[in-house]
């Protein structure tokens, strides 16, 4: 069972973690794990196959002096402990350019996964996410397609439930 990550509540579904047929050793704790991290990890060393427990506890970030999210590529929040939790104890997500983490109500949002235009319509959040976008971004929303040239990353505010979108271009 995976630890709970409040800023990334379903990291198996988003592809941040992968389930393997055979266990491998986590380079941080040395224990065998069949669930390994496949998202970004910014450190001097090239590190692969981290277990969920070492990410949640902060042991991986501590041992390898690394982070799962670039601290400069986030919306601003006032509490530095929230930024530390996001960067050092939350699995990241893979984007085409630089991953960017959204915030709302002075806290980071939960990352829900990649979305296309049709997904936003089906979820009933298209108009909601459009409110938050710049004019130039609104023009590209119709082009959003999972795996396409314009990719959407959907977030939800932990306090008020508002959905926010980050757009990335191939």
What pLDDT, in 10s, does the model give residues 26-85? 999 999 999 999 999 999 999 999 999 999 999 999 999 999 999 999 999 999 999 999
pLDDT over 80 at 11, yes or no: yes
Strand-pair partners of 27: none
| Tens digit of each residue's pLDDT (9 = 90 or more) over 120-147 | 999 999 999 999 888 778 887 888 988 8
- CA torsion 136→142→93→107, rounded to 10°? 60
The H or E element containing residue 82 is: helix 80-89
* Predicted local distance difference test score (pLDDT) of residue 132: 87
Distance of alpha carbon 152 from alpha carbon 145, whole angstroms? 7
* Predicted local distance difference test score (pLDDT) of residue 126: 95
pLDDT over 80 at 170, yes or no: no
Distance of alpha carbon 142 from alpha carbon 117, whole angstroms? 6
Residue 144 and residue 136 in contact, taking contact as beta carbons nearer than 8 Å: no
Residue 75 and residue 103 in contact, taking contact as beta carbons nearer than 8 Å: yes
């Amino acid at each position: 069972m995976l630890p709970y990550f409040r800023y990334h509540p379903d990291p198996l579904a988003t592809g941040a973690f992968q389930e393997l047929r055979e266990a491998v050793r986590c380079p941080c704790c040395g224990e065998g794990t069949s669930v390994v991290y496949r998202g970004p990890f910014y450190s001097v060393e090239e590190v692969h196959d981290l277990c969920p427990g070492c990410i949640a506890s902060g042991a991986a970030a501590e041992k390898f002096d690394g982070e799962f999210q670039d601290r400069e590529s986030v919306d601003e929040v006032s509490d530095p402990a929230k930024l530390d939790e996001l960067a050092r104890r939350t699995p990241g997500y893979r984007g085409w350019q630089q991953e960017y983490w959204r915030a709302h109500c002075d806290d980071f949002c939960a990352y829900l996964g990649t979305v296309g235009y049709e997904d936003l319509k089906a979820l009933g959040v298209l108009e909601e996410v459009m409110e938050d976008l710049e004019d130039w971004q609104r023009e590209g929303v119709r082009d959003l397609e999972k795996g396409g040239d314009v990719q959407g990353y959907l977030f939800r505010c932990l306090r008020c439930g508002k959905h926010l979108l980050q757009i990335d271009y191939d």
